[in-house]
Structure 1
Amino acid sequence: MKDKVFKKTYQVSINSVNINKKLGLFGILGYLQDIATVHAEVMGFGLEDMIRDQSFWVLVRQKLRMTKFPAWNESVEIQTWSRPPEGMYAFREFEIFLDGEKVGDCSTVWMILDGVTRKVKKPDFPMERINPRTDYHLDYIAHKVEVRDNFEKVNTITVRNSDLDLNMHVNNTKYSQWILDSTPIKLHKTAKLNEFEINFMAETHLGDAIDIYRARNEEGEKSHDIVYKGVRHSDGKTCFLANLLAD
């Protein structure tokens, strides 16, 4: 029986740090994507396995919580596991450790799409193959981001070749990069990100123009509570919603 919890260590490279010499949002999401991909391969749910089944995984929702971001050259250990599926959804969770101290965690929600029809398929694999963790789970699950009514357009992104992954889809981490590119540099310098939550709502394709909108929440205890949405310019369809909490 394979271990339910899969672990991998990452040394924070110069390519993963931000202007504050810390591991940035785009970098940590890349690490999470990498370990999820590797673990899926180990468990028999990897790219080639899904291709043979004429299916593919799609990330539907993700929520990341961080208390501390590692610095350049520090090493982080990431642990990941599956939760038991519910209905049409599959769940993967992560915990992030720096020198043995937990500094973050992440909840992700996934669905399986038929590679031909693009319709949702139930993740009805044998439970022993899924090998979910049942002794422990995070105290939250990524949910729907609340839509606000005070959006203002702040940027337009055109999907480029470098945004695509090996499935010819826009890489999930790229959406966070679009958001970071639409955030004032002052916030990059002064704000500390605590939570990042994103809902993926529609596929985007090479050449699509995506209008980025921002809505701030002036109320509450958080210094920065911002919702972003990406809207495809050609048809007005919302492709993602994301919420950032920072102080």
Structure 2
Amino acid sequence: MTDGNNRTTRTFRYKVRAHEADSTGAARPDVLCDYLQDAAANHADHLELGATQLVGEGLAWVLARLVLEVQEMPRWQDEVAVTTWPSGRQGIFATRDFEVSVNDRITARATTAWFLIDISRRRPARLPEVVTSLPLPERPRSLVDDFGRIPRIGNATETAGTRRAAYTDIDMNRHVNHVRYLAWAMDAMESDWLAQHQVRRLEMQFKNEAVMGQHLRTMRAPLPDSESTWIYEVQGEDGGLVSQTRIDWRPR
């Protein structure tokens, strides 16, 4: 569901369904990121810069970076408003920001960086003029972040899970969808931890594609000298880095 507003800023509405809530009744972080992904895709289509328009040119949008700060997670049956807008361009990257509201109160903010790939070559492509010439809305950034590097987790690591990328992991770009990596990071934590903690801030960076049938492992480790910040990596069988996630947790 969408609200009609100016062309470069748009609000989409979602209702938290029962299967999207965790055992405490709060929406899961991967569900919130699903809402962001859906709002971004639909707004890009509205701007005639989305998958519907670009597939004919052999191009597709791919998420490279995501930063999300959460004041409070929506809960079961809440109506969630996701406002999104293109916020800038940095080289081959186009940035997009988000504000998440419940009952007209902002409960989360996010910023993302996207790039285009040549679908046939699976290589980054330059942003076309139709993207670089798009006027940006006159509004402040939701979050200002330089998308700094997430540290590698080093030797003090623990294999939290192994899996084979399956049908339900793959999106229209024919690779594992970025939200799945967040779900796997959440699954890497014990149930008692998840019942007592919630996400305060998360950062995600995507390094390489994973495709259907590929064997993957999720690694985890706390940040040195921290009990509340954890780093998660998804690696291929050869140890090659696929994605990194950093989550700052806080007590519920």
1:147 to 128, 152, 175: 152
1:182 to partner: Cα distance: 1.4
8 Å Cα contact 1:6/1:79 also seen in 2: yes
Summarize the Cα distance change of 1:205–1:139 in structure 2 as closer, same or farther, 3 Å threshold.
closer
1:216 to 210, 219, 222: 222
DSSP-derived class of the 2:186 partner: helix
Is structure 2 residue 245 aligned with structure 1 residue 242?
yes
DSSP-derived class of the 1:192 partner: strand
Look up the match of 1:207.
Answer: 213
Query: 1:153-172 maps to which residues of 2 (within 5 A)?
Result: 153-172=159-178
8 Å Cα contact 1:232/1:239 also seen in 2: yes
Q: TM-score, normalised by structure 2?
A: 0.91
Is structure 2 residue 7 aligned with structure 1 residue 3?
yes
1:187 to partner: Cα distance: 1.3
1:125 to partner: Cα distance: 2.4
Mapped to 2, the partners of 1:100 and 1:153 lie a distance apart of 41
Mapped to 2, the partners of 1:196 and 1:135 lie a distance apart of 24
Look up the match of 1:62.
Answer: 66
Deviations 1:21-61 (A, max 9, x none): 11111110111111111101101112121111111111001
1:44 to 28, 44, 48: 48
Q: Which runs of 5+ in 2 are unaligned?
A: none
8 Å Cα contact 1:79/1:94 also seen in 2: yes
Q: Percent identity?
A: 20
Deviations 1:216-247 (A, max 9, x none): 12525xx41000001101x3211001001011
8 Å Cα contact 2:64/2:113 also seen in 1: yes
DSSP-derived class of the 1:126 partner: helix
Q: Which runs of 5+ in 1 are unaligned?
A: none
Q: TM-score, normalised by structure 1?
A: 0.93
Look up the match of 1:21.
Answer: 25
1:73 to partner: Cα distance: 0.7
1:85 to partner: Cα distance: 1.1
8 Å Cα contact 2:109/2:143 also seen in 1: no
8 Å Cα contact 2:68/2:108 also seen in 1: yes
Mapped to 1, the partners of 2:205 and 2:131 lie a distance apart of 27
Mapped to 2, the partners of 1:128 and 1:151 lie a distance apart of 42
Following TM superposition, the consecutive aligned residue runs of length 4 or more in structure 1 with deviations greater than 4 angstroms are none
Mapped to 1, the partners of 2:83 and 2:29 lie a distance apart of 18
